[in-house]
Amino acid sequence: MLRRENANLRETMRNFSLGLVAKASASASQTASQTPAATAQPYHPLQAAATPTAAVATESPDGWLDDALNALDQFGPPQVLATRFALKSLESLQGCREVDEMLDLFLIQAQCSDQNQIRRYFIKILKLRSKIFARCTPQDYEKVMEIIEICKVNNRAHVVSILASYHA
């Protein structure tokens, strides 16, 4: 029974994220056809709250970049909307502010290029994740683990970049 629910949950997350991609591409093409000078950007939940701190890369005489780019510049924004929706759809996590905080910190962390900041955010994310696990019911525990793992797989490049910065 639990495997069937997990398979349904995975399918729902996949369909939800595919639907968002289709809507975003349809709205982008619609916006582009209406106003050719305007560039359509996907919605970013922290766009108003925090502007990306893009690392300014200066080129040295030998052609190498002096500053490392952050994960947002390298891979684009992390895809966390389906994860947020899936976690909030669980009965024990409805209205849970830790879910929003954890995913928002992941988005902010993708904008960081300073290793100390990345480490601080990583620790905060782990603390929030443990609070989420403590708050969920035993029936939802496995679902929460699977949703978070799916998020990590969907944002593999970001996770690898963050872990590489953390262990450097």
**Distance between CA 91 and CA 71 in Å, rounded?**
33
Q: Which two tokens stand for residue 45?
A: 């939940």
Asked whether 88 and 94 are in contact (CB, 8 A), the reply is yes
The pLDDT score that the predictor gives to residue 80 is 94
**Distance between CA 31 and CA 27 in Å, rounded?**
6
Q: What is the mean pLDDT of the chain?
A: 76
Q: What is the pLDDT of residues 83-112, one digit of tens each?
A: 999 999 999 999 999 999 999 999 999 999
Q: How confident is the model at residue 72 (pLDDT cuts 50, 70, 90)?
A: confident
State the burial class of residue 40 (Cβ atoms within 10 Å of its Cβ: 0-12, 13-18, 19+). Answer: middle
Taking Cα atoms as reference points, which of 141, 16, 5 lies closest to residue 82? 16
Q: Residues with Cβ < 8 Å from 66, sequence gap 6 or more? A: 57, 58, 59, 60
Taking Cα atoms as reference points, which of 91, 102, 99, 84 lies closest to residue 43? 84
pLDDT above 50: residue 46: no
**Distance between CA 81 and CA 22 in Å, rounded?**
14
The pLDDT score that the predictor gives to residue 162 is 82
